[in-house]
Amino acid sequence: MGLLRWIKSQFICHLLICYVFLVSGLVVNLLQICTLPLWPVHKQLARKINCRLGYCISSQMVALLEWWSGTECTLYTDPESYRLYGKENAIVILNHNFEIDFLCGWTFCDRFGVLGTSKVMAKKELAFVPLIGWMWYFQEIVFCKRKWEEDRRTVARSLQNLQDYPEDFWFLLFCEGTRFTEKKHQISMQVAETKGLPKLRHHLLPRTKGFCVTVQNLRGKVTAVYDSTLNFRNNETPTLRGVLNGKKYHADLYVRRIPLDSIPEDEAECAAWLHRLYQEKDKFQEQYMQTGHFPGPVKSPPCRPWALINWLFWASLLLYPFFILAVQLFYAGSTPTIVATIAVCIGASVAVRWMIGQTEIDRGSSYGNRKSTRKKTD
């Protein structure tokens, strides 16, 4: 093991990275709260400020992936579409197989300059994840309970709010609704069979309600759907823990730009369109398995320095007082102060472990583990 790799795997490094993340995150969350009085007076300005504040948090995780773990992200797409990325509002559809797929998504957002404004339809539970969930509240993320009876109104309302959003954004939808597991795959293929739909090998059956309501409510605002399929080289199953340990992965993302106008307005046709899309996505995954690459030319956006600069800013601001405090504690601290400080460190470490746990598939929800049945109300 090289010296650098050894250093990256050391607990003390993780502690310092997490310390910067936690403290800067809390500072940013506090600043976001301070923008509350601005919302009724100058909503657009409040939104713009919150984009930038949010960037301070999410870009730290991007910096971790790009600069700490050195993970490479390759984009397969056609040059015509490439020119529009980051310059229009888009709905992004992504497969949901990996623990760090959201992070790779963020990396591409950063490279196209839309990380601060990026949005997602996220499960409600994530709203309670400290720092990230709180930040999302101010970034107008659309939360769903994955209970259509309750979501149909709240989701549509949150999406309508984005109609006058002042900056270009990407809205991410994991239409499968949950991460891929063998069990969930098996169940969803039983559902596919009862619906007379072709079986998918690499995806769960997409849930169509969220997609249709998104297209319906963002029509006129969003110009395209980016059909994105992500995979990792060498059959790797990347984890956030691995990234924190400095492990390098190689992500391949295949993106097709589909004009929104070409998506049917009728709900049943829109749902059928999405099912066809997933059948195509399945073929791209199959090709990747067979050949090790996606179709189409490679057109990777360059890595930008801003995520690293942001991290260096927070690190230089927060690590100096941390070291001063540590030295003072060591030389002059009373036993209760030292014990209290150690307790805070342990607490912070447990909190970060819990947050990382939110990304782990093994600890995922039971959503999709059985066939859900719903009374027909629509």
Ligand X SMILES: CC/C=C\C/C=C\C/C=C\C/C=C\C/C=C\C/C=C\CCC(=O)SCCNC(=O)CCNC(=O)[C@H](O)C(C)(C)COP(=O)(O)OP(=O)(O)OC[C@H]1O[C@@H](n2cnc3c(N)ncnc32)[C@H](O)[C@@H]1OP(=O)(O)O
Ligand Y SMILES: CCCCCCCC/C=C\CCCCCCCC(=O)OC[C@@H](O)COP(=O)(O)O
Q: Is 17 in the site for ligand Y (CB under 6 A)?
A: yes
Give the footprint of ligand X on residues 219-238 (CB under 6 A): 226, 228
C-alpha 296 chain-centroid distance: 25
| CA atoms of 57 and 14, how far apart (whole Å) | 17
Number of H helices, E strands in the chain: 14, 7
Residues between 252 and 291 that touch ligand X (CB under 6 A): 255
CB 14 within 8 A of CB 244: yes
Site for ligand Y contains 162 (CB under 6 A): no
Q: Does the footprint of ligand Y cover residue 367 (CB under 6 A)? A: yes
| Binding string, residues 55-94; x marks residues near ligand Y by CB under 6 A | -----xx--x------------------------------
* Distance of alpha carbon 322 from alpha carbon 18, whole angstroms: 13
Residues near 188 by Cβ (< 8 Å), separated by ≥ 6?
A: 176, 204, 205, 368
3-state secondary structure of 33: helix
Q: Is 171 in the site for ligand Y (CB under 6 A)?
A: no
Torsion of CA 47, 52, 53, 58, to 10 degrees: 120
Q: How far is the CB of 16 from ligand X (least distance, A)?
A: 25
**In contact, 116 and 51? CB cutoff 8 Å:** yes
Q: Residue 167 is inside which H or E element, if any?
A: none
> Least distance in Å: CB of 295 to ligand X?
16
Which of residues 174 and 249 has its CB atom nearest to ligand Y in the complex? 174
Pick 271 or 348: Cβ nearer ligand X: 271
* Chosen residue from 365, 370, 371, 374 binding ligand Y by CB under 6 A: 365
Q: Which does 175 bind (CB under 5 to 8 A by kind): ligand Y, ligand X, none?
A: ligand X
Site for ligand X, residues 100 to 159, rule: CB under 6 A: 102, 105-106, 108-109, 118, 120-123, 126, 144, 146-148, 151
Cβ atoms within 10 Å of 131's Cβ, excluding its own: 19
Quote the tokens at residue 4: 């650098």
Query: Residue 9 Cβ, how far from ligand X at the closest point, in Å?
Result: 26
Least Å distance, CB 126 to ligand Y, is: 6
User: 64 is in the binding site of which of ligand X, ligand Y, none (Cβ under 5 to 8 A by kind)?
Assistant: ligand Y
Contacted entry of ligand X, ligand Y, none for residue 314, CB cut-off 5 to 8 Å set by kind = none
- What DSSP string runs through 319-351? HHHHHHHHHHHHHH--HHHHHHHHHHHHHHHHH
Provide DSSP, 112-141: TT-TTT-EEEEEGGGGGSTTHHHHHHHTT-
Instruction: For ligand X, give the closer residue by CB, 68 or 136.
Output: 136
* 21: partner contacted, choices ligand X, ligand Y, none (Cβ within 5-8 A by kind): ligand Y
Residue 18 contacts which entry, ligand Y, ligand X, none (Cβ below 5-8 A, type-dependent) = ligand Y
Please state, in angstroms and rounded to a whole number, the distance separating the CA atoms of residues 259 and 115. 22
E strands present in 43-114:
72-76, 90-94
Choose, by CB under 6 A, the member of 16, 31, 123, 271 that binds ligand Y. 123
Show the site string, 201-220: x = touches ligand X by CB under 6 A, - = not. ---xx-xxxxx---------
